[in-house]
Chain A
Protein backbone atom coordinates (compact mmCIF):
# COMPACT_ATOMS: atom_id res chain seq x y z
CA UNK A 1 0.00 0.00 0.00
CA UNK A 2 1.44 3.32 -1.05
CA UNK A 3 1.54 6.39 1.14
CA UNK A 4 -1.25 8.03 -0.83
CA UNK A 5 -3.49 5.00 -0.54
CA UNK A 6 -2.69 4.80 3.15
CA UNK A 7 -3.68 8.39 3.72
CA UNK A 8 -6.84 8.09 1.62
CA UNK A 9 -7.88 5.01 3.57
CA UNK A 10 -7.30 6.75 6.90
CA UNK A 11 -9.31 9.75 5.76
CA UNK A 12 -12.24 7.48 4.85
CA UNK A 13 -12.05 5.84 8.28
CA UNK A 14 -10.87 2.55 6.87
CA UNK A 15 -9.79 0.44 9.84
CA UNK A 16 -7.24 -1.55 7.85
CA UNK A 17 -5.53 1.58 6.62
CA UNK A 18 -5.49 3.03 10.11
CA UNK A 19 -4.02 -0.16 11.51
CA UNK A 20 -1.30 -0.26 8.87
CA UNK A 21 -0.51 3.43 9.46
CA UNK A 22 -0.17 2.71 13.17
CA UNK A 23 2.13 -0.23 12.60
CA UNK A 24 4.27 1.76 10.18
CA UNK A 25 4.84 4.78 12.43
CA UNK A 26 4.30 3.49 15.96
CA UNK A 27 7.98 2.88 16.76
CA UNK A 28 9.03 6.35 15.60
CA UNK A 29 6.23 8.04 17.45
CA UNK A 30 6.87 5.93 20.52
CA UNK A 31 10.54 6.99 20.49
CA UNK A 32 9.57 10.64 20.33
CA UNK A 33 7.04 10.22 23.14
CA UNK A 34 9.66 8.44 25.28
CA UNK A 35 11.83 11.55 25.09
CA UNK A 36 9.08 14.05 25.82
CA UNK A 37 7.19 12.09 28.46
CA UNK A 38 8.29 11.77 32.04
CA UNK A 39 7.89 7.98 32.36
CA UNK A 40 6.75 4.74 30.80
CA UNK A 41 3.09 5.18 31.74
CA UNK A 42 3.05 8.78 30.57
CA UNK A 43 4.66 7.68 27.30
CA UNK A 44 1.79 5.35 26.44
CA UNK A 45 -0.87 7.95 27.15
CA UNK A 46 1.06 10.53 25.18
CA UNK A 47 1.49 8.14 22.23
CA UNK A 48 -2.24 7.53 22.10
CA UNK A 49 -2.92 11.27 22.13
CA UNK A 50 -0.33 11.90 19.43
CA UNK A 51 -1.76 9.19 17.17
CA UNK A 52 -5.28 10.52 17.47
CA UNK A 53 -4.15 14.01 16.60
CA UNK A 54 -2.14 12.79 13.63
CA UNK A 55 -5.15 10.88 12.30
CA UNK A 56 -7.09 14.13 12.49
CA UNK A 57 -4.31 16.13 10.86
CA UNK A 58 -3.95 13.81 7.90
CA UNK A 59 -6.41 16.08 6.09
CA UNK A 60 -3.75 18.80 6.15
CA UNK A 61 -0.96 16.60 4.91
CA UNK A 62 0.90 18.27 2.02
CA UNK A 63 1.21 15.59 -0.62
CA UNK A 64 4.54 16.86 -1.81
CA UNK A 65 6.17 16.48 1.64
CA UNK A 66 8.10 13.53 2.98
CA UNK A 67 5.75 11.39 5.03
CA UNK A 68 8.33 10.31 7.62
CA UNK A 69 9.48 13.86 8.30
CA UNK A 70 5.93 15.13 8.41
CA UNK A 71 4.90 12.45 10.92
CA UNK A 72 7.97 13.19 13.07
CA UNK A 73 7.27 16.91 13.08
CA UNK A 74 3.60 16.45 13.93
CA UNK A 75 4.44 13.95 16.64
CA UNK A 76 6.90 16.36 18.25
CA UNK A 77 4.51 19.29 18.33
CA UNK A 78 1.60 17.16 19.44
CA UNK A 79 3.74 15.83 22.28
CA UNK A 80 4.47 19.42 23.26
CA UNK A 81 0.75 20.16 23.11
CA UNK A 82 0.07 17.18 25.35
CA UNK A 83 2.51 18.52 27.95
CA UNK A 84 0.95 21.96 27.72
CA UNK A 85 -2.47 20.43 28.43
CA UNK A 86 -1.38 19.34 31.91
CA UNK A 87 -0.80 22.77 33.34
CA UNK A 88 -0.36 21.45 36.86
CA UNK A 89 2.64 19.42 35.87
CA UNK A 90 3.92 21.86 33.29
CA UNK A 91 4.30 24.69 35.78
CA UNK A 92 6.34 22.74 38.27
CA UNK A 93 8.91 24.91 40.06
CA UNK A 94 12.04 25.14 37.98
CA UNK A 95 14.52 25.42 40.80
CA UNK A 96 17.51 23.22 40.32
CA UNK A 97 18.38 21.21 43.32
CA UNK A 98 22.05 21.51 42.73
CA UNK A 99 22.97 21.28 46.40
CA UNK A 100 21.01 18.09 46.81
CA UNK A 101 22.72 16.49 43.84
CA UNK A 102 26.15 17.76 44.77
CA UNK A 103 27.00 14.71 46.78
CA UNK A 104 26.29 12.45 43.85
CA UNK A 105 28.96 14.11 41.71
CA UNK A 106 31.78 13.15 43.97
CA UNK A 107 32.80 10.09 42.04
CA UNK A 108 32.50 10.53 38.24
CA UNK A 109 32.26 7.45 36.11
CA UNK A 110 34.04 6.51 32.93
CA UNK A 111 31.52 6.55 30.08
CA UNK A 112 33.63 4.27 27.97
CA UNK A 113 32.87 1.50 30.38
CA UNK A 114 29.20 1.83 29.64
CA UNK A 115 27.55 0.36 26.59
CA UNK A 116 25.56 2.45 24.15
CA UNK A 117 22.34 1.09 25.51
CA UNK A 118 23.33 1.92 29.08
CA UNK A 119 24.40 5.40 28.02
CA UNK A 120 21.06 5.88 26.24
CA UNK A 121 19.20 4.84 29.36
CA UNK A 122 21.24 7.25 31.48
CA UNK A 123 20.62 10.12 29.08
CA UNK A 124 16.94 9.27 28.88
CA UNK A 125 16.66 9.09 32.67
CA UNK A 126 18.33 12.48 32.96
CA UNK A 127 15.91 13.85 30.38
CA UNK A 128 12.88 12.49 32.26
CA UNK A 129 14.13 14.14 35.43
CA UNK A 130 13.80 17.58 33.86
CA UNK A 131 10.69 19.59 34.43
CA UNK A 132 8.32 19.52 31.42
CA UNK A 133 9.19 23.03 30.23
CA UNK A 134 12.93 22.35 30.37
CA UNK A 135 12.44 18.95 28.74
CA UNK A 136 10.59 20.52 25.87
CA UNK A 137 13.28 23.13 25.27
CA UNK A 138 16.16 20.65 25.58
CA UNK A 139 14.53 18.11 23.27
CA UNK A 140 13.53 20.67 20.66
CA UNK A 141 16.88 22.45 20.63
CA UNK A 142 19.49 19.70 21.06
CA UNK A 143 17.81 16.41 20.14
CA UNK A 144 15.33 17.29 17.41
CA UNK A 145 17.34 20.23 16.04
CA UNK A 146 14.37 22.53 15.63
CA UNK A 147 15.28 26.08 14.71
CA UNK A 148 15.13 28.51 17.64
CA UNK A 149 12.88 30.90 15.71
CA UNK A 150 10.31 28.18 15.17
CA UNK A 151 10.47 27.19 18.84
CA UNK A 152 9.94 30.79 19.93
CA UNK A 153 7.05 31.17 17.53
CA UNK A 154 5.26 27.96 18.41
CA UNK A 155 5.78 28.20 22.16
CA UNK A 156 4.92 31.91 22.10
CA UNK A 157 7.75 32.93 24.39
CA UNK A 158 10.25 35.77 24.29
CA UNK A 159 13.70 35.25 22.91
CA UNK A 160 15.36 36.12 26.22
CA UNK A 161 13.08 33.74 28.03
CA UNK A 162 14.01 31.03 25.59
CA UNK A 163 17.74 31.62 26.12
CA UNK A 164 17.53 31.75 29.89
CA UNK A 165 15.35 28.68 30.22
CA UNK A 166 17.42 26.70 27.74
CA UNK A 167 20.57 27.46 29.72
CA UNK A 168 18.89 26.40 32.93
CA UNK A 169 17.63 23.20 31.26
CA UNK A 170 21.08 22.43 29.95
CA UNK A 171 22.65 22.96 33.37
CA UNK A 172 20.03 20.84 35.08
CA UNK A 173 20.37 18.05 32.53
CA UNK A 174 24.11 17.87 33.20
CA UNK A 175 23.52 17.67 36.91
CA UNK A 176 21.06 14.81 36.54
CA UNK A 177 23.37 13.10 34.06
CA UNK A 178 26.26 13.27 36.53
CA UNK A 179 24.07 11.88 39.25
CA UNK A 180 22.86 8.93 37.20
CA UNK A 181 26.35 8.22 35.90
CA UNK A 182 27.62 8.25 39.48
CA UNK A 183 24.91 5.84 40.54
CA UNK A 184 25.56 3.66 37.52
CA UNK A 185 29.31 3.79 38.26
CA UNK A 186 28.63 2.70 41.78
CA UNK A 187 26.66 -0.25 40.45
CA UNK A 188 29.44 -1.08 38.03
CA UNK A 189 32.03 -1.01 40.78
Chain B
Protein backbone atom coordinates (compact mmCIF):
# COMPACT_ATOMS: atom_id res chain seq x y z
CA UNK B 1 0.00 0.00 0.00
CA UNK B 2 1.48 3.28 -1.08
CA UNK B 3 0.56 6.21 1.13
CA UNK B 4 0.86 9.93 0.65
CA UNK B 5 0.98 11.27 4.22
CA UNK B 6 0.41 14.80 3.02
CA UNK B 7 -3.18 13.96 2.23
CA UNK B 8 -3.97 11.34 4.88
CA UNK B 9 -4.50 11.24 8.62
CA UNK B 10 -1.48 9.85 10.36
CA UNK B 11 -2.13 11.12 13.90
CA UNK B 12 -3.49 7.79 15.08
CA UNK B 13 -0.44 6.02 13.79
CA UNK B 14 1.81 8.60 15.42
CA UNK B 15 0.09 8.05 18.77
CA UNK B 16 0.39 4.30 18.35
CA UNK B 17 4.09 4.42 17.62
CA UNK B 18 5.33 7.32 19.76
CA UNK B 19 3.23 7.19 22.92
CA UNK B 20 4.81 4.06 24.40
CA UNK B 21 8.25 5.24 23.42
CA UNK B 22 10.89 4.51 26.01
CA UNK B 23 14.61 4.84 26.01
CA UNK B 24 17.66 3.91 28.00
CA UNK B 25 19.08 6.74 30.00
CA UNK B 26 22.83 7.13 29.59
CA UNK B 27 25.04 7.43 32.68
CA UNK B 28 25.80 11.05 31.90
CA UNK B 29 22.22 11.93 32.82
CA UNK B 30 22.52 10.35 36.26
CA UNK B 31 25.92 11.97 36.83
CA UNK B 32 24.51 15.40 36.20
CA UNK B 33 21.52 14.66 38.39
CA UNK B 34 23.58 13.17 41.22
CA UNK B 35 25.96 16.14 41.30
CA UNK B 36 22.99 18.48 41.50
CA UNK B 37 21.39 16.41 44.24
CA UNK B 38 24.66 16.31 46.19
CA UNK B 39 24.90 20.10 46.14
CA UNK B 40 21.34 20.32 47.30
CA UNK B 41 22.09 17.84 50.08
CA UNK B 42 24.99 19.96 51.28
CA UNK B 43 22.86 23.06 51.27
CA UNK B 44 20.19 21.24 53.20
CA UNK B 45 22.70 20.02 55.76
CA UNK B 46 23.81 23.58 56.32
CA UNK B 47 20.26 24.70 56.70
CA UNK B 48 19.27 25.58 60.25
CA UNK B 49 16.17 23.45 60.09
CA UNK B 50 18.24 20.35 59.64
CA UNK B 51 20.42 21.37 62.56
CA UNK B 52 17.38 20.87 64.73
CA UNK B 53 17.55 17.18 63.91
CA UNK B 54 20.78 16.91 65.90
CA UNK B 55 20.61 16.03 69.57
CA UNK B 56 22.60 18.95 70.95
CA UNK B 57 21.01 21.80 69.11
CA UNK B 58 17.52 21.42 70.62
CA UNK B 59 19.06 21.40 74.08
CA UNK B 60 21.08 24.52 73.34
CA UNK B 61 18.06 26.28 71.90
CA UNK B 62 15.91 25.28 74.87
CA UNK B 63 18.54 26.49 77.32
CA UNK B 64 18.84 29.79 75.50
CA UNK B 65 15.07 30.26 75.54
CA UNK B 66 14.91 29.52 79.26
CA UNK B 67 17.69 31.98 80.05
CA UNK B 68 16.06 34.69 77.98
CA UNK B 69 12.67 34.16 79.61
CA UNK B 70 14.14 34.25 83.11
CA UNK B 71 16.06 37.41 82.33
CA UNK B 72 13.00 39.05 80.84
CA UNK B 73 10.85 38.02 83.81
CA UNK B 74 13.32 39.34 86.34
CA UNK B 75 13.74 42.58 84.43
CA UNK B 76 10.03 43.24 84.18
CA UNK B 77 9.36 42.29 87.77
CA UNK B 78 12.12 44.65 88.95
CA UNK B 79 10.63 47.40 86.86
CA UNK B 80 7.16 46.79 88.26
CA UNK B 81 8.48 46.93 91.84
CA UNK B 82 10.25 50.19 91.12
CA UNK B 83 7.14 51.62 89.58
CA UNK B 84 5.02 50.71 92.59
CA UNK B 85 7.55 52.23 94.97
CA UNK B 86 7.68 55.41 92.99
CA UNK B 87 3.91 55.57 92.97
CA UNK B 88 3.73 55.11 96.76
CA UNK B 89 6.29 57.83 97.41
CA UNK B 90 5.07 60.29 94.89
CA UNK B 91 1.37 60.38 95.74
CA UNK B 92 1.70 61.99 99.24
CA UNK B 93 4.03 64.60 97.86
CA UNK B 94 1.42 65.53 95.35
CA UNK B 95 -1.18 65.80 98.07
CA UNK B 96 1.08 68.01 100.09
CA UNK B 97 1.72 70.26 97.18
CA UNK B 98 -1.88 70.47 96.14
CA UNK B 99 -3.57 70.84 99.48
CA UNK B 100 -2.12 74.27 100.43
CA UNK B 101 -3.23 75.74 97.17
CA UNK B 102 -6.72 74.43 97.75
CA UNK B 103 -6.70 75.78 101.27
CA UNK B 104 -5.56 79.19 100.19
CA UNK B 105 -8.24 79.30 97.56
CA UNK B 106 -10.95 78.18 99.91
CA UNK B 107 -9.76 80.43 102.78
CA UNK B 108 -9.80 83.56 100.71
CA UNK B 109 -13.44 84.43 100.84
CA UNK B 110 -15.52 83.10 103.69
CA UNK B 111 -13.26 81.11 105.95
CA UNK B 112 -10.56 83.73 106.18
CA UNK B 113 -13.03 86.22 107.49
CA UNK B 114 -14.38 83.72 109.95
CA UNK B 115 -10.92 82.76 111.15
CA UNK B 116 -9.88 86.38 111.45
CA UNK B 117 -13.09 87.20 113.23
CA UNK B 118 -12.51 84.34 115.62
CA UNK B 119 -8.99 85.52 116.29
CA UNK B 120 -10.21 89.02 116.84
CA UNK B 121 -12.87 87.86 119.21
CA UNK B 122 -10.28 85.93 121.18
CA UNK B 123 -7.99 88.90 121.20
CA UNK B 124 -10.80 91.17 122.25
CA UNK B 125 -11.51 88.99 125.19
CA UNK B 126 -7.91 89.37 126.36
CA UNK B 127 -7.18 92.99 125.42
CA UNK B 128 -8.60 96.45 126.16
CA UNK B 129 -11.17 98.33 124.17
CA UNK B 130 -8.77 100.81 122.42
CA UNK B 131 -6.68 97.94 121.33
CA UNK B 132 -9.84 96.24 120.21
CA UNK B 133 -10.75 99.16 118.04
CA UNK B 134 -7.26 99.20 116.68
CA UNK B 135 -7.41 95.49 115.95
CA UNK B 136 -10.76 95.90 114.27
CA UNK B 137 -9.37 98.60 112.09
CA UNK B 138 -6.35 96.52 111.17
CA UNK B 139 -8.48 93.59 110.19
CA UNK B 140 -10.54 95.79 107.98
CA UNK B 141 -7.38 97.07 106.39
CA UNK B 142 -6.12 93.55 105.88
CA UNK B 143 -9.32 92.44 104.28
CA UNK B 144 -9.35 95.46 102.07
CA UNK B 145 -5.74 94.75 101.12
CA UNK B 146 -6.62 91.21 100.23
CA UNK B 147 -9.58 92.22 98.16
CA UNK B 148 -8.10 95.33 96.61
CA UNK B 149 -4.39 94.95 96.36
CA UNK B 150 -3.83 97.92 94.16
CA UNK B 151 -5.90 100.30 96.19
CA UNK B 152 -3.27 101.57 98.60
CA UNK B 153 -4.81 104.97 99.04
CA UNK B 154 -7.80 103.67 100.85
CA UNK B 155 -5.58 101.78 103.21
CA UNK B 156 -3.65 104.89 104.00
CA UNK B 157 -6.76 106.84 104.78
CA UNK B 158 -7.98 104.17 107.10
CA UNK B 159 -4.60 104.10 108.83
CA UNK B 160 -4.67 107.87 109.21
CA UNK B 161 -8.08 107.66 110.73
CA UNK B 162 -6.85 105.24 113.31
CA UNK B 163 -3.92 107.50 114.10
CA UNK B 164 -6.18 110.47 114.45
CA UNK B 165 -8.39 108.60 116.79
CA UNK B 166 -5.33 107.80 118.85
CA UNK B 167 -4.21 111.41 118.94
CA UNK B 168 -7.65 112.64 119.59
CA UNK B 169 -8.47 110.21 122.30
CA UNK B 170 -5.39 110.81 124.37
CA UNK B 171 -5.78 114.55 125.03
CA UNK B 172 -9.50 114.47 125.39
CA UNK B 173 -9.22 113.24 128.95
CA UNK B 174 -10.48 116.50 130.39
CA UNK B 175 -10.86 117.03 134.06
CA UNK B 176 -13.51 119.45 135.00
CA UNK B 177 -14.92 120.53 138.27
CA UNK B 178 -18.34 119.82 139.23
CA UNK B 179 -19.12 123.56 139.23
CA UNK B 180 -17.87 124.13 135.78
CA UNK B 181 -16.41 127.56 136.61
CA UNK B 182 -12.78 126.54 136.80
CA UNK B 183 -10.84 126.43 133.59
CA UNK B 184 -10.45 123.10 131.82
CA UNK B 185 -7.12 121.36 132.55
CA UNK B 186 -5.68 118.11 131.30
CA UNK B 187 -3.49 116.43 133.86
CA UNK B 188 -0.59 114.19 132.96
CA UNK B 189 -0.35 111.77 135.81
CA UNK B 190 3.05 110.39 134.92
CA UNK B 191 4.71 113.76 134.37
CA UNK B 192 3.00 115.38 137.25
CA UNK B 193 2.03 118.33 135.09
CA UNK B 194 -1.32 119.77 134.41
CA UNK B 195 -2.41 121.51 131.27
CA UNK B 196 -4.68 124.45 131.55
CA UNK B 197 -6.86 125.03 128.58
CA UNK B 198 -8.07 128.51 128.07
CA UNK B 199 -11.01 128.80 125.85
CA UNK B 200 -10.42 132.41 124.92
CA UNK B 201 -8.56 131.65 121.69
CA UNK B 202 -10.73 130.31 118.89
CA UNK B 203 -9.75 126.92 117.59
CA UNK B 204 -11.43 126.12 114.30
CA UNK B 205 -8.82 124.02 112.60
CA UNK B 206 -8.78 120.77 114.59
CA UNK B 207 -11.29 118.04 114.62
CA UNK B 208 -12.21 119.00 118.18
CA UNK B 209 -13.33 122.39 117.20
CA UNK B 210 -16.88 121.64 118.10
CA UNK B 211 -15.82 120.48 121.50
CA UNK B 212 -13.44 123.31 122.41
CA UNK B 213 -14.68 126.77 123.28
CA UNK B 214 -13.65 129.69 121.11
CA UNK B 215 -12.08 131.62 123.98
CA UNK B 216 -10.09 128.84 125.52
CA UNK B 217 -6.43 129.28 126.36
CA UNK B 218 -4.08 126.46 127.04
CA UNK B 219 -1.37 127.21 129.57
CA UNK B 220 1.03 125.03 131.32
CA UNK B 221 1.01 125.54 135.05
CA UNK B 222 2.72 123.80 137.80
CA UNK B 223 0.79 121.23 139.51
CA UNK B 224 -0.62 122.62 142.67
CA UNK B 225 -0.10 119.39 144.42
CA UNK B 226 3.57 119.52 143.75
Contact = CB atoms under 8 A, between A and B. Distances in A.
Given A51-B33, A108-B3, A119-B17, A44 B28 contact: yes
B14 interface: yes
Nearest to A30: B23
Contacts of A139: 18
A175 B41 CA distance: 48
A18 interface: yes
Contacts of A79: none
A27 B33 contact: no
Contacts of B1: 110-112
Given A26-B25, A30-B22, A55-B37, A111 B14 contact: no
A109 B40 CA distance: 52
A22 interface: yes
A142 B14 contact: yes
A123 B14 contact: yes
Contacts, number: 113
Interface in B10-50: 10-11, 13-15, 17-26, 28-30, 32-34, 36-38, 40-41, 44
B4 A105 contact: yes
Contacts of A22: 25, 30, 33
B6 interface: yes
Contacts of B40: 13
Nearest to A25: B25
B23 A48 contact: no
B141 to A, nearest CB: 99
A105 B17 CA distance: 22
A44 B14 CA distance: 22
A80 interface: no
B78 interface: no
B25 A47 contact: yes
Contact of A44 (B5, B6, B8, B29): B29
A10 B118 CA distance: 103
A142 B18 CA distance: 10
B6 A105 contact: yes
A93 interface: no
A78 interface: no
Contacts of A111: 1, 3
A30 B20 CA distance: 11
Contacts of A7: none
B19 A144 contact: yes
A116 interface: yes
Given A48-B32, A120-B18, A175 B6 contact: yes
A43 B23 CA distance: 10
Contacts of A110: 1-3
Contacts of A120: 17-18, 21
B18 A52 contact: no
B21 to A, nearest CB: 4
Interface string B102-142: 00000000000000000000000000000000000000000
Interface in A1-50: 13, 15, 18-19, 22, 26-35, 43-44, 47-48
Contact of A124 (B18, B20, B38): B18
A170 B18 contact: no
6 contacts: A15-B37, A105-B6, A108-B4, A120-B18, A120-B21, A177-B10
